[in-house]
Amino acid sequence: MKKKIDVILVKNTLTIGKKGSIINVARGYAFNYLIPNKIAEIATNKKIKHIQMFENIAIKQRETSDTEIKLLKNNMQKIDSISIYKKKGENNLIFGNITEKDIMKWINKYTNVLINRIQIKTLEIKLIGVTNIRIQINPKININVPLKIIPTNI
């Protein structure tokens, strides 16, 4: 008779492990505590295959997102600068602001890359000239791109 049994955790616990992990515990602990309290269930071959299938799917999704991020980074690094034309007012001020939407339209028009508004980090831009904007591809990868604001009524 075995003294240990494999169980699959149904809930996240601090002491035992994460949800979906397979652990080897004593039979009494499994049948008297884990299973009645719905913390774990007995690991059968079908359930183990099911968990492994979901782990493989998660690994493939991470790999595809990594390649997409690399492609996006390469496309964004090809941008030398972004030029936006605005009407000039007094003291080199422009009418209105340069918004993330303007930058998104420029990037989509010239590179066919779709990025979200929240990925573009800018301060309030109201002067004609060159400023740097930061485009955040993911939390670890940021790209700085010069933004040239060119007056239309010289």
Task: Indicate if 40 and 60 belong to the same structural domain.
Answer: yes
Q: Which residue has the higher pLDDT, 116 or 63?
A: 63
- CATH number, position 129: 3.10.430.100
Q: Strand 141-151 and strand 82-86: pairing?
A: parallel
The total domain count for the chain is: 2
143: pLDDT strictly greater than 90:
no
Task: Indicate if 41 and 13 belong to the same structural domain.
Answer: yes
Helix residue ranges, H only, the chain: 27-29, 45-77, 100-111
Residue 116 domain boundaries: 76-151
What mean pLDDT is reported for the chain? 88
58: pLDDT strictly greater than 70:
yes
DSSP-derived secondary structure letter, 29: H
- CATH number, position 20: 3.40.5.10
User: Residue 37: enclosing H or E segment and its boundaries?
Assistant: none
Closest residue by Cα to residue 84 from 127, 55, 137: 127
**Does 43 map to a domain?**
yes
Question: What is the predicted pLDDT for the residue at 36?
Answer: 94
Return the percentage of the chain with pLDDT > 90, whole number: 32
Tell me which range, 57-61, 62-66, 80-84, 122-126, is most confidently predicted by mean pLDDT.
57-61
Question: What is the predicted pLDDT for the residue at 29?
Answer: 93
Residue with structure tokens 């616990």?
13
153: pLDDT strictly greater than 80:
no
Q: Tell me the pLDDT band of 33, cut-offs 50, 70 and 90.
A: very high
**Mean pLDDT along residues 71-96:** 85
- DSSP per-residue letters across 95-136: EEEE-HHHHHHHHHHHH-----GGGEE---EEESEEEEEEEE
**Does 116 map to a domain?**
yes
**Does 71 map to a domain?**
no
